[in-house]
Amino acid sequence: MTATTSPGMRLCDRAEYAGKPEPLAMPAKTPLPDAVASMVDRNYGSVIVVDPDHGVEGIVTERDILKRVVHAGREVAKTTLGDIMTPTPRVARETDDIIDWLRMMSNERFRRLPVVDEAGRVKAVFTQGDFVSYTWPDLLHQVKDMARATIGRNWALFLIGGGILLYTLAILGVVASMA
């Protein structure tokens, strides 16, 4: 992934980025019950598995716990994050483009994206929901522009269609009043 120079489209440029809560990050040797307790306490859907320098080694999501522990019949108390993590997940840089990552997350079907600084230390976790909420105003603006261009280009058709609709309603009103 390459960094973008588009103002406002880098992950770190967004006002929401500064307000993101600190990600839940734990070492691979953390017992699963401890990690789950922290996830529940903070209402988080994932834990970032980090090395001693706070670099990303993996990620454990609620889905990982369901599939790799509950469904697999593993003993929860004997399971560590390292046992069930998805190793080397996709990681974004703070200067990466929002739209590129939204597209990639959608195409590759993953929902959580650790964001790291220049030293590779985890700084935030973005979700698909975050990206949608960040890009929603831009999408609405694009839809409005497209609608304006379509109506402007086809204004005569809208006038003709509107006239036919009014004429039809008028005739129906006359017929209804005669009955």
Q: Which domain holds residue 66?
A: 11-133
Q: Going by C-beta distance under 8 Å and a sequence separation of 6 or more, which residues neighbour residue 54?
A: 25, 121, 122
Task: Judge whether 62 and 46 are in contact, CB under 8 Å.
Answer: yes
Backbone angles phi and psi of 113, in degrees to 5: -130, 110
Please, are residues 47 and 35 in contact by the beta-carbon 8 Å criterion? Answer: yes
pLDDT number for residue 166 = 84
More confident residue, 167 or 73: 73
- The pTM for the full model equals 0.72
Mean pLDDT of the chain: 86
Helix (H) or strand (E) holding 73: none
Strands 56-61 and 122-127: unpaired
Residue 108 lies in a domain: yes
> Residue 53: which pLDDT band, with cuts at 50, 70 and 90?
very high
Domain-located, residue 107: yes
pLDDT in tens, 4-27: 556 677 888 877 788 889 999 999
So what's the pLDDT on residue 135?
A: 63
At how many degrees (to 10) do helices 98-108 and 128-153 cross?
Answer: 110
Other CB atoms within 10 A of residue 159 CB: 10
pLDDT at 11: 86
- pLDDT tens digits along 62-72: 999 999 999 99
Q: Which amino acid is at 158?
A: F
Whether 85 contacts 49, CB under 8 Å: yes
Q: Would 159 be classed as within a structural domain?
A: no
- Residue 109 gets the label, from left (phi > 0), alpha (psi -120 to 50) or beta, of left
Could you give the number of structural domains in the chain?
1
Is the residue at 125 inside a domain?
yes
Residue 84 is assigned to a structural domain of this protein: yes
The 10s digit of each residue's pLDDT in 88-125 is: 999 999 999 888 888 898 889 898 999 999 999 999 99
Q: Which helix (H) or strand (E) holds 76?
A: none
Backbone angles phi, psi at 174, to 5 degrees: -65, -45
Q: Is residue 111 part of a domain?
A: yes
Q: pLDDT, tens digit, for every residue of 116-171?
A: 999 999 999 988 777 776 666 666 677 777 777 776 667 677 778 778 888 888 88
Residue 6 belongs to a domain: no
Q: Residue 73 is part of a domain; what is its CATH number?
A: 3.10.580.10
The answer to whether residue 17 is domain-embedded is yes
